[in-house]
Amino acid sequence: MRQLTDSQKQRVRDLLAELVHIDSAVSSQAQARRDRTEERIAAFLTDHLVGMGMTVERQEVEPGRPNLMAHWPDQTGAASLMLEAHMDTVTVEGMIIEPFRAQIRDGRMYGRGACDTKGGMAAFLTALALAREEGRLPADKLYFVATMSEETGCHGAAALMEHGFRTTAAIVGEPTRCEVVTCHKAPLWLEVQTRGRSCHASMPECGRNAIEVMARVVDFVHGPWTAYLGRRTHALLGRSTAVVTQIDGGSKINIVPARCRARIDSRLVPDWPNTQVMADFERMLTEHVGGSGHCEVAIVESQPGLDTDAGVPLATKLLHLCEEVNGQDAPRGVNYFADTGPFSQAGITSVLFGPGDIAQAHTADEYLDLEQLYQATEVTLTLLTEHAGRSIVSPND
């Protein structure tokens, strides 16, 4: 396993600090469009990648919200490997630290995005640069890709696939504790609206209470629907889940509400068509609620899951290195979703790997353990240089 020198550790640490200094936080799609959230970090990355000798292609998904695809033009391998990380972060609202200061304390760097997922971005960029400087690159054509709008539904990754961009395989940077992740659940976010009939609260029998109808919806989600989702399980991911996360209804204390809205976060095991699940949800909900009120169901977000064969060359080679540094001897799964979903759906063999723990992502004092940053850089660098002149992603190498 390659070990970074002190100067190389400083290099990746400084790069992470520069990335954290850049505000790329998204609180909503409307805010991101207004502020062109990813523009500043995209400009920084473009300069950095050009400085590495790479050619950079920019896909303008929305004005000021691009995807970046970079490669070395002298690489012409038949197979290709993408190292990818998203540029956006979640909002800084509620943070108890200075979100963009990148303060280092007790071996950790604090700041929004340090863990999710600018740490992975810095590790990938530094490993690519070091391997290139040493002249020890694999035969695969290498791409560094930075996507927009991952935190609000992997829209950048989906747009990239619609654009026609493809590689043989992909390592997607997410906080996996420097472990190899080959599967994750598929999100299906639903919004249910119940309709009643308003009246004066002193005569509730004259109306139909939309909140009471919604209570039956909540009962359905936690009862019959949860049981339905339990029919399918996955060896690494367990069972699918659903939880009501938002409820909003009523206008005044003395008016029986005519409308109520709830949002439901479902996480499905891979290879379960969301269209089938949606149809079953609507049918079963109607049966459960009956004639007591009218329900309207809409999809808020739907993304594919990930279920990569643990025996593919990329996974086995990366896992071999991870076993050396942290003892991981088998791939694992995660409940959250990532850009791997759209990539895998498009036929790109994909895994998740990166520094940090998801438990620190999106928190009020987000941080990254710097030893994790160094470890991720070392693993990625070793993967690249050990396969100098050979393929990482092809089975024959």
Note the pLDDT tens digit of each residue in 82-137.
999 999 999 999 999 999 999 999 999 999 999 999 999 999 999 999 999 999 99
pLDDT tens digits for 259-314? 999 999 999 999 898 889 999 999 999 999 886 558 999 999 999 999 999 999 99
At 395 the pLDDT is 87
CA distances 4 to 85, 110, 312, 334, 380, Å, are 22, 22, 28, 29, 11
pLDDT on residue 291: 63
Q: What is the pTM of this model?
A: 0.95
Closest listed residue to residue 28, CA positions, set 120, 146, 155: 155
Considering the four listed CATH numbers 3.30.70.360, 3.40.50.720, 3.40.50.1820, 3.50.50.60, the one that applies to the domain covering 186-302 is 3.30.70.360
Please tell me the predicted confidence (pLDDT) of residue 290.
Answer: 80
CATH 3.30.70.360 spans which residues of the chain?
Answer: 186-302
- Spans of the chain below 70 pLDDT: 291-293
Task: Give domain 6-184+305-386's CATH number out of 3.30.70.890, 3.40.50.720, 2.130.10.10, 3.40.630.10.
Answer: 3.40.630.10
Write down the pLDDT at residue 293: 58
Residue linked to tokens 């690249």: 384
- Is residue 128 within 8 A of residue 377, CB to CB? The reply is no
CA dist 218 and 213 (Å) reads 9
